[in-house]
Chain A
Amino acid sequence: MTFGASRTAFVLRRLVGLAVVVVLVSFLVFSLLYVAPGSPEQLLLGNSKTIDPETVRAVREQYHLNGPFLERYLHWAANAAHLDFGKSIRTSEPVAHGIWQRLSLTSQLAGLAFLVTLLLGIPLGVLAAVRRTKLVDRGVVFFSVVGLSAPAFASGVLLLYVFAVRLPWFPAFGQGAGFLDRLKHLVLPAAALALTATGLVVKITRAAFVTELEKDYVTFARARGIPPSRVLFRFVLRNAATPIVTAAGLILAYMLAGSVLVEVTFALPGIGALLVDSVTSQDIPMVQGLAMLIAALVVVANLVVDLVYPLIDPRIVFGKSAR
């Protein structure tokens, strides 16, 4: 097989795998309605006290609750594919609409955090790997471990305390209006989110670089008189990239989870807060919509990572890992 053909085959294999994941997840998400305490009709009606047979029948019709399980699933899945998850029990607005409204805020938050993470984390990791002086290395390791271990809400609350209470540099709650104001409101939440992610990226970057720097090809390159900066950027970087790209994929999954915690902490009306509210109020259609959104985002992130791998390391395409 030629290079190009192998690459296409590789991508296709991955796509199929991810499609399977999506289908399986959708199945699980669909069954939430039946797993939650209470009957499906009750849940869909919002646990209101009076449930007369008329309403029940109407609900059953509307949500296709009659018929075998598989049929119901297919109905639901067909709608879901059109981004129609029904109406939110809590707010009575269409689920897709409710999600869409809040999506921009969360994307801004996550985007900012992601940027900060990569711009800060990777250079720090490389620094720690290259300058193995005790001070720098241990300092960076300490920072990364603490960041990694501090859940976004803990660092959120701590940041709130320091920067919003003690030195009121930033606002404590809310999303703000206008570009600059929005930015001010997002600094602390993004920082909280980025802290943990940066810790992870630093750790993985440092480990990847340290591993590569000990390898024979680096010694050989140096022995040939290639200057250290070139060895680092031209030789080591690409070889160390694979675990870092994997980390970037993990970061995205983390951002989704972390944004939930951060939005709750800072009272930001984003997707994450919406999820928590929906879950606690048993708003199943909304939960389903959000869950599928998350699944889709995870799948896309994995796909992008999988597409980047062969660009970095041609061996992966051929199924070889070393030698």
Chain B
Amino acid sequence: MKNKIILILTAILAMSLMMTGCGSNTADSQEASSQSAGEAGFIFESGDTKVVMNAETTDILESLGKETDYFEAESCAFKGIDKTYTYSGFRLYTYPVDEVDYVLSVEFMDDSVSTTEGLSIGDTKEKVIETYGEDYEDSESSIIYTKGKSQLKFILDSGEVISSIEYLAVTD
């Protein structure tokens, strides 16, 4: 009798411990998608600086030099700050993972900057397709190209003229 009780209690304990044995991520962080400059993906270039989506920002920010404006927003509830750096002609947005900042996106502010392939705000939809091809997702007012862990998004005014260009990181 005593042995049976011990057996039952051991089984309960074993079951409880089994439930705690598996490893899994907790519900409080997101993974950073790593992408080095050598991997496929859209890369924004500002002078000699290559801005790779999902890349750590330290070296990039150093290379870009002093920003003209800076804004930060702590995320609702979680530790971690989303940062916005404004430079001449574009803004760089970051996201944090485990207290390290990564490139989230680059948004063009005016036509003083262009993509690596030469597209700027004010160019036409036709030129976008000529340059980047037909393999895109589109809606009434945007065209999105995906390459590796990045996207290049063109927002079109009246469906014809680029009003916004943004490089975006595809995060996990």
The answer to whether A and B interact is: no
Interface of A toward B, CB cutoff 8 Å: none
Task: Write the residues of chain B forming the contact surface with A, with a CB cutoff of 8 angstroms.
Answer: none
